[in-house]
A and B are shown apart, each in its own frame.
Chain A
Amino acid sequence: MKGVVFDLVGTLAHFRKPDTTATQMTYPFITPTAVKGMVGAILGKEDFVTHDIVGIRLMNPVQIVSQQMSMLGKDTGSSFNRPTTIELLINPHYRIYYAGEENVDELSTYLQKEYSVYPTFLGVAYAVTKPKLISVWNQVALAVNEAYGYIETKAVVPSALVGELKVTRGQHYCRAGGFMYCYKGARTFEKSIDFIYEWAGNMIAFKPAKKKLSLNLQIAKFGEDVVCLY
């Protein structure tokens, strides 16, 4: 399995929770489907569907503010605007680990050339970002559960992988549930995934769960970085 690592930095981001209609709430960090959508935008592939998998690491602490905005139009009718509360992520910075056999080479080339077919943004059009290549890996090794010892990672961890969480004093472990997991094309989504993350992006140590998983979850090594891929 090949891999490419790149950073996404911005001043604002918003990754909408799809079950919030009147109020627009955001997930605390970029969703796996948004990462894959962005790769599709870079490569210029519309309705991008892939079996490649991604990992996400928080490089900045999660900061969310609520803002009331006037959104134009309720529909095509006569309503002009609608006061809408929207949550925004402030100073987002993510390190994305992208692995697989389908698009890694092409993506690496595009990132090296700093080229993107479509604009890239962090969830909403007014949160533009420019991906920055960090490293390319011809071989990403799978870290096979390390004999059920503790695995340490700075990336966010799917909760289904966690059998036991090692709590370090002073760290703030959080849960973000109900991310859409798989994009099937034609605006159709399937399955969901939940994450455990440390608020400031610090190390998480966990023992993997000894159970059969319904999702394709991997633990891989990008050099020294241990990352959960999904």
Chain B
Amino acid sequence: MLAESVIRIGRPIMQSDLSLEERIRLLTDVSSISCKNYFQNVIVAELGKDTDTVHYLTIGMFDGDQKSFQVDARRNVSFPITFPNGGNPLVPQGVYALPCYLMWEPHLKKMMNAEAFAQEILLPRLNSTIGYRELMQEEREKLALRISNLLAENTQRFLREEKQLGILLVFDSRLAVYKIKEQLASEPSDLWIADSLCISDSALYLDGEEFLNQFITAKMDEAASLGKAQNAVSTFSNQVSTEVVSIYNKSWLWLSPTWEMPCSNDWGKTDWIKGIKVDAENYAAFLYGSQFLKEIQVPLSNSLLKEMFAPIMSVEAKKHMKTTSFQPIYGIPLVVPLLDGDSKQNFKKYRHMLKNQQHLSQTDLHMEVLAGMKGSIIPQFSDEHRLTILYYSGDLSRGDMHIRAIIEDIVPSIASKIQSILWKIKNYECGSIQDEFGVQRQPLYKTETLPSLLANAFGPGYVWNVLQKVFHRQSLEMKHLFQATEKKLNELVNKEDYWGMKQELIFFYVFMLFYKLYNEQIRNVKGGVKDLADWKKIIEQYYSGELKDEDFNSLENLGFISGMLLKQFSHSYYMKTNKDFVKQRVMKFGSKLTPVMIWQQGVLRCQELADQWDLKLGVNFWGVLPLVLLGFLSANEKKTLVSEKNVFMTAFWSGYLLYRKPKNDNDSDGTEESIKGGSN
């Protein structure tokens, strides 16, 4: 269950030495960016013994340009507001731990009408406030009217023509969460609200510890609306607890009962307690955990979403997709111990996750590289932990969210090794591969993060599945990559976009290298695919004429060598005829090039055309040609020219585009630069 993981994350945070202010900041929305403008108009209704007064405060200040409001981070914790999740924010939602309410424009305007404000806005909120639960309804009505009258008398101090948002805090010294003390006589748990206007030399304080207790109680009360029970067994502690409540609630909207499922048909409105039920301690841990996860969630960037979900079979189709065409996706990393129990060390690491911009270390897991989550860092955890990555789309604030993928049980050291491979490729190998193809070195965005690399290789339909396979050290099937690469190369060659073809092959060989390193370093499997380093040996042997029969034992080799062979032939052919051999003689009118066409219309005709045009070809060419022809005969017998054409064609274009005329080759008179389409 997700809830079980959330509790296991929340428990060490709850039991940590987190300061009072940090706890309030974590559990409430005082630091939420969407709440900052409410702090521009903070109205404190101070209820005294004899007289009542109103404080009008601005908790923060505008920037120099007067456009952006910055909340005072030292004082905002004294006004612990909670932004409503879903539903109509104008009506009271849930249970309030103290009388501190968010005020929208209609609320503030209504303050001018004391009676209406009392009945329609204030009283429903007081009814849902923990501290006023014990009062009789009449007392609450009187209190609402008293506060409303006070506010109505003072509206000229804080109401303005333009649109306003604000916070109303009712300071009622009868409530346990408040304290009045002499100025400068506060304790660490006292959070200064303002100096008293009713009692001289005194100040109003919020009792932070008491507030936290009331906050948990308020959330428990919210959960109890779907069911509670006394002396029942808590689902997660497996122990009897004096009171347990349903876990389905609005604190963690993933669990909000937005529709009847998974509620049993036999359950009534408050029968959810028959399912999952939690005691106060686990519920508090659940709150800490859920708030923490909200803090560390990260949206995937639009450019990454395009890389992940644009079609990969067509270069043109991908080019024309807008980065804004994709539904936003958010990612959340969770780390919990594999076995039971919590580690006290976990809290320090969780804290490091919150402060992820500082002190980036090589040993940390950079979730941008591994999971596309920018700025998200997982500190080094031992392999006694498991990392889970959760991707969802939709609007969490409305409870309308859909989990796209959940990749569980990732071993931290495996993730770290994958990260090292990706770094190595990005920092060292990618440039070398670009050099081999004669392309200027530049960052290759689609190879820099794992989701993008895998999505471009396997296609959008396989992203999550392959991502999970990689994190779980499973084998990958390469047929999709060959299929996609061959299709794109064919599309590009018909447009004579040789630069584009090189880009596709560069990606292909970056992926091949990743695949090779992944197999060697993570799966302990050697061989299986050819990367550029393997082809370099073949290229050298080709130039020196040292290729032997056994070098043609695979279709991939045959494709690569025939690509080099035809490119060498093309050079000479072009110098004599001023025509591109492959385009004019082999492909014919932009047709789709196949291995059989390369064999029958290309390689088989080399001898005849060389004689006809008296082409000057290197000695090595004549040594390789018969071996290639024999290789085609053999492949034709095995019928692999058709069944493995993707593999052949990818290797063919690799050979074709990697061939360089050796500097000491004086047998032909063409230069590479003069060959049309031979380089970009």
Contact yes or no, A172 B472, CB < 8 A = yes
Question: When A and B form their complex, which 7 residue pairs have the shortest distance between CB atoms, in order from nearest?
Answer: A178-B1, A178-B4, A174-B409, A23-B403, A177-B4, A214-B238, A188-B274
What separation, in Å, do the CA atoms of A165 and B337 have in the docked complex? 13
Contact yes or no, A16 B262, CB < 8 A = yes
Q: Is B48 an interface residue (CB 8 A)?
A: no
Report the stretch among A100-108, A132-140, A190-198 that lies at the interface. Answer: A190-198
What separation, in Å, do the CA atoms of A28 and B408 have in the docked complex? 10
Q: Is B411 an interface residue (CB 8 A)?
A: yes
Query: A69-88 vs B: 1/0 string, CB under 8 Å?
Result: 00000110000001111010
Contact yes or no, A190 B233, CB < 8 A = yes
Q: Is A59 an interface residue (CB 8 A)?
A: no
**Which of chain B's residues has its CB closest to A213's CB?**
B238
Residues in A with CB closer than 8 Å to B465 are 65
Contact yes or no, B340 A162, CB < 8 A = yes
6 sampled A-B residue pairs with Cβ under 8 A: A23-B254, A174-B386, A175-B338, A177-B4, A192-B4, A215-B238
Apart from A162-B340, A188-B274, A191-B235, 8 more pairs, CB < 8 Å: A19-B247, A21-B248, A22-B401, A66-B403, A82-B259, A85-B402, A170-B524, A191-B238
Which of B276, B404, B408 is in CB contact (< 8 Å) with A85? B404
- Minimum CB–CB distance from A124 to chain B (whole Å) comes to 12
Contact yes or no, B400 A172, CB < 8 A = no
Residues in B with CB closer than 8 Å to A2 are none
Q: Is B623 an interface residue (CB 8 A)?
A: no
Q: Is A160 an interface residue (CB 8 A)?
A: yes
Residues in B with CB closer than 8 Å to A194 are 4, 340
Residues in A with CB closer than 8 Å to B340 are 159-160, 162, 194
Residues in B with CB closer than 8 Å to A167 are 383
Contact yes or no, A23 B258, CB < 8 A = no
Contact yes or no, A177 B1, CB < 8 A = yes
Residues in B with CB closer than 8 Å to A18 are 1, 262, 275-276
What separation, in Å, do the CA atoms of A17 and B3 have in the docked complex? 10
Give chain B interface residues in 433-473, CB to chain A under 8 Å.
464-465, 468, 472-473
Q: How many residues of B contact A (CB 8 A)?
A: 54
Give chain A interface residues in 25-58, CB to chain B under 8 Å.
25, 28
Contact yes or no, B399 A22, CB < 8 A = yes
Q: Is B260 an interface residue (CB 8 A)?
A: yes
- Minimum CB–CB distance from B283 to chain A (whole Å) comes to 13
- Minimum CB–CB distance from A157 to chain B (whole Å) comes to 10
Q: Is A199 an interface residue (CB 8 A)?
A: yes
Contact yes or no, B259 A199, CB < 8 A = no
Contact yes or no, A172 B473, CB < 8 A = yes
Q: Is B257 an interface residue (CB 8 A)?
A: yes
Residues in A with CB closer than 8 Å to B235 are 178, 180, 189-192
What separation, in Å, do the CA atoms of A196 and B275 have in the docked complex? 23
What separation, in Å, do the CA atoms of A170 and B325 have in the docked complex? 41
Q: Is A186 an interface residue (CB 8 A)?
A: yes
- Minimum CB–CB distance from A192 to chain B (whole Å) comes to 5
- Minimum CB–CB distance from A139 to chain B (whole Å) comes to 30
Q: Which of A22, A24, A191 has the most CB of B within 10 A?
A: A22
Q: Is B317 an interface residue (CB 8 A)?
A: no
What separation, in Å, do the CA atoms of A22 and B248 have in the docked complex? 12
Contact yes or no, B236 A178, CB < 8 A = yes
- Minimum CB–CB distance from A41 to chain B (whole Å) comes to 17
What separation, in Å, do the CA atoms of A162 and B383 have in the docked complex? 16
- Minimum CB–CB distance from B396 to chain A (whole Å) comes to 10
Residues in A with CB closer than 8 Å to B675 are none
- Minimum CB–CB distance from B2 to chain A (whole Å) comes to 6
Residues in A with CB closer than 8 Å to B336 are 175
Contact yes or no, B404 A19, CB < 8 A = no
Give chain B interface residues in 15-63, CB to chain A under 8 Å.
none
**Which of chain A's residues has its CB closest to B235's CB?**
A192
Contact yes or no, B409 A199, CB < 8 A = yes
**Which of chain A's residues has its CB closest to B405's CB?**
A66
Q: Is A187 an interface residue (CB 8 A)?
A: yes
Q: Is A20 an interface residue (CB 8 A)?
A: yes
Residues in A with CB closer than 8 Å to B405 are 66
Residues in B with CB closer than 8 Å to A65 are 465
Contact yes or no, B1 A187, CB < 8 A = no
Residues in B with CB closer than 8 Å to A20 are 2, 254-255, 262, 403
Which of B3, B248, B259 is in CB contact (< 8 Å) with A75? B259
Q: Is A110 an interface residue (CB 8 A)?
A: no
Residues in B with CB closer than 8 Å to A187 are 264, 266-267, 271, 274
What separation, in Å, do the CA atoms of A160 and B237 have in the docked complex? 12
Q: Is B261 an interface residue (CB 8 A)?
A: yes
What separation, in Å, do the CA atoms of A85 and B393 have in the docked complex? 11
Residues in A with CB closer than 8 Å to B266 are 186-187
Give chain B interface residues in 226-255, CB to chain A under 8 Å.
233, 235-236, 238-239, 247-248, 254-255
Q: Is A6 an interface residue (CB 8 A)?
A: no
Q: Is A150 an interface residue (CB 8 A)?
A: no
Q: Is B574 an interface residue (CB 8 A)?
A: no
Q: Is B130 an interface residue (CB 8 A)?
A: no
Contact yes or no, A23 B392, CB < 8 A = yes
Give chain B interface residues in 539-557, CB to chain A under 8 Å.
none
- Minimum CB–CB distance from A14 to chain B (whole Å) comes to 12
Residues in A with CB closer than 8 Å to B524 are 170
Give chain B interface residues in 178-233, CB to chain A under 8 Å.
233
Give chain B interface residues in 487-509, CB to chain A under 8 Å.
none
Residues in A with CB closer than 8 Å to B2 are 17, 19-20, 25, 178
**Which of chain B's residues has its CB closest to A184's CB?**
B274
Contact yes or no, A19 B276, CB < 8 A = yes
- Minimum CB–CB distance from B287 to chain A (whole Å) comes to 15
Which of A16, A66, A177, A180 is in CB contact (< 8 Å) with B464? A66
Contact yes or no, A21 B3, CB < 8 A = no
Q: Is B256 an interface residue (CB 8 A)?
A: yes
Contact yes or no, B399 A174, CB < 8 A = no
Residues in A with CB closer than 8 Å to B394 are 22
- Minimum CB–CB distance from A84 to chain B (whole Å) comes to 8
Q: Is B136 an interface residue (CB 8 A)?
A: no
Q: Is B315 an interface residue (CB 8 A)?
A: no
Residues in A with CB closer than 8 Å to B256 are 21
Q: Which of A24, A74, A167, A190 has the most CB of B within 10 A?
A: A190
What separation, in Å, do the CA atoms of A18 and B465 have in the docked complex? 23
